[in-house]
Structure 1
Amino acid sequence: MPKYILKRIVGTIPTLIIVVTFVFFFVRLIPGDPARLVAGEQATQDDVEAVREELGLNKSIPTQYVTYVTGLLKGNLGTSLRTKQPVTKEVAGRFGNTVRLAFVTLLWSSVVGVLFGVWSGTHRGKWQDYTGMTIAVSGISLPSFWIGFLLIMLFAVKLRILPTTSGTSLKSLIMPSITLGVGIAAVIARFTRSSIIEVLKEDYVRTARAKGIKEKVVIWKHVFRNSMISVVTVVGLQFGFLLGGSVVTETVFAYPGLGSLLIESVNYRDYPAIQSLILIFSLQFIVINLIVDILYAVLNPEIKLQ
């Protein structure tokens, strides 16, 4: 196992190099002049050029790239053009909020999604199956921003039982969590249903039933555990999405997370912050995929990690 983990970690290095290079050159295609934004609308051209020189934007693109990569190797993500603070400090102030929201969302959506998937899969072709999958398809189809605005209108404006914008309390996480989790629960439910149906066709399931084992035991002891292998992959990918892809939801609820920080950085053409955030999002997916692979062996000992 340690050799496998080390091999996977080493294998991520080329991916990170590609991500770093792509993001560095891509963000510079964003229209707008960061030096002009930093200097202000009333600044003269000389002032703008002075700011550009101060920020190192007057240097050639290859030189800027070498400077950026050298800083990364030293653990320096650069300084935000917008706040003049180190990017690491900016990220640290938002990362905990995003993790908190992602964890709460994934917790309830995984439980609901798996239960709906098992319910539908064990009643294939019956009204339970049609009901569960109708709800799942509806959850996938509804846009997250629409769900967010609907929740705000109902619970914050009409009923006034939840805060309009998000804060640090658990109560303030309810609406953003529901907005994010509806689609995730639906995806997990569909994958769980498909996995359950496939496992139910296996010979060992028929053998267990032939032995007279109770149906609940067959489902939860034999079918459920073996069907979770593919579901774990989906849950892992959804967690990565929650950590880096909740941009719309965080914007709708003015939630102080990494997603809203990315939007602010793009609007301000904050190159160091944009590069660092996308790099962090990519690294999160890589780490989550590694954890998922390890969980495979835990759920099914027959899987050998090569």
Structure 2
Amino acid sequence: LDRPLTHQYSVFLMHALRGDWGTSIRTGRPATELVAERLVNSLKLATAALVVTLAIGLPLGVLAAVDRGGLWDRFGMAFALLGQSVPAFWMGIVLILVFSVLLGWLPTSGMGSWRHYVLPALVMGWGISAGVVRLLRSSMLEVLGMDFVRVARAKGLAAALVVTKHAFMNALIPVITFVGFMYGVIIASAIVIEVVFGWPGLGRLAYESTLWRDYPVLQLTVVVWAALVIAINLLVDVTYVLVDPRLRT
């Protein structure tokens, strides 16, 4: 601490590049070990939330577009509005009261069997699936009005084939962008959900490190979050090419 600030910072960078981020002030363990353990747990929960997002958002978005102005469309838009309006922490508390306290079907907190994933994954995927419904509906309606879709219908192709093969695949690009971005956001902003459900993930570790002023762990956590967002954005760019072959040229 008696050295100039520039010297201290250069030493910190040299250690960081070698993978030495210091020792946790609270536990005495290397910061890299703590973050690695919690990162795996956060990735598991984020992946479960992504499955919930796609399982709800994709079919509901397609049905809302195909049944424009109908019952499915109204239901999808109501779901999207509700999902983007209800705070995640409030929904988490309500689900715990209903399914854990009153009914006793699911555990209130912790990590163990698949039952521990249900409530936090549902809460995390709820709001994002609402965005997927709205975005996919808009993209599908745009694609359904294009000439190649009209030609496919004029050739006598089945309506289900026109929707799934021609319209849906061409409407996926903006959805992939949104889902990829939100997957990174899920990991980086899961602090509230992980604290509410007692999930031993990276967000909860950041929260605990902030309370204990555990700066080595907190610094590494922020760097890992940033690296994950960058890596996921690169993966999204690769996925574009797989979904739309026109981008390969």
The normalised TM-score by structure 2 is: 0.96
What corresponds to 1:281 in structure 2? 225
What corresponds to 1:12 in structure 2? none
Is the alpha carbon distance of 1:304 and 1:126 closer, same or farther for their aligned partners in structure 2, counting shifts above 3 Å?
same
* SS class of match (1:77): coil
**Residue 65 of structure 2 contacts residue 73 of structure 2 at CA under 8 Å; is this kept in 1?**
yes
* SS class of match (1:302): helix
Matches within 5 A, 1:152-163: 152-163=96-107
1:129 to 73, 77, 82: 73
**Residue 209 of structure 2 contacts residue 215 of structure 2 at CA under 8 Å; is this kept in 1?**
yes
What corresponds to 1:265 in structure 2? 209
Aligned pair count?
Answer: 249
CA distance in 2, matches of 1:64, 1:168: 42
Matches within 5 A, 1:157-176: 157-176=101-120
**Residue 97 of structure 1 contacts residue 168 of structure 1 at CA under 8 Å; is this kept in 2?**
no
* SS class of match (1:95): helix
* SS class of match (1:255): coil
Deviation at 1:59, TM superposition (A): 4.9
CA RMSD for the aligned pairs?
A: 1.4
Q: Which runs of 5+ in 2 are unaligned?
A: none
CA distance in 1, matches of 2:186, 2:107: 22
Deviation at 1:105, TM superposition (A): 1.0
* SS class of match (1:303): helix
**Residue 120 of structure 2 contacts residue 193 of structure 2 at CA under 8 Å; is this kept in 1?**
yes
What corresponds to 1:38 in structure 2? none
The normalised TM-score by structure 1 is: 0.78
What corresponds to 2:149 in structure 1? 205
**Residue 98 of structure 1 contacts residue 243 of structure 1 at CA under 8 Å; is this kept in 2?**
yes
CA distance in 2, matches of 1:301, 1:285: 25
Is the alpha carbon distance of 1:199 and 1:87 closer, same or farther for their aligned partners in structure 2, counting shifts above 3 Å?
same
CA distance in 2, matches of 1:143, 1:183: 9
**Residue 265 of structure 1 contacts residue 273 of structure 1 at CA under 8 Å; is this kept in 2?**
yes
**Residue 106 of structure 2 contacts residue 115 of structure 2 at CA under 8 Å; is this kept in 1?**
yes
**Residue 52 of structure 2 contacts residue 122 of structure 2 at CA under 8 Å; is this kept in 1?**
no
Matches within 5 A, 1:203-282: 203-282=147-226
What corresponds to 1:291 in structure 2? 235
What corresponds to 1:187 in structure 2? 131
What corresponds to 2:30 in structure 1? 86
Residue-by-residue CA offset, 1:120-173 (whole Å, 9 max, x unaligned): 111222232111111111011100010111011111111112112122211111
CA distance in 2, matches of 1:89, 1:138: 40
CA distance in 2, matches of 1:76, 1:122: 54
Q: Which runs of 5+ in 1 are unaligned?
A: 1-55
Runs of 4+ in 1 over 3 A off after TM superposition: 58-61
CA distance in 1, matches of 2:183, 2:8: 33
2:41 to 97, 106, 114: 97
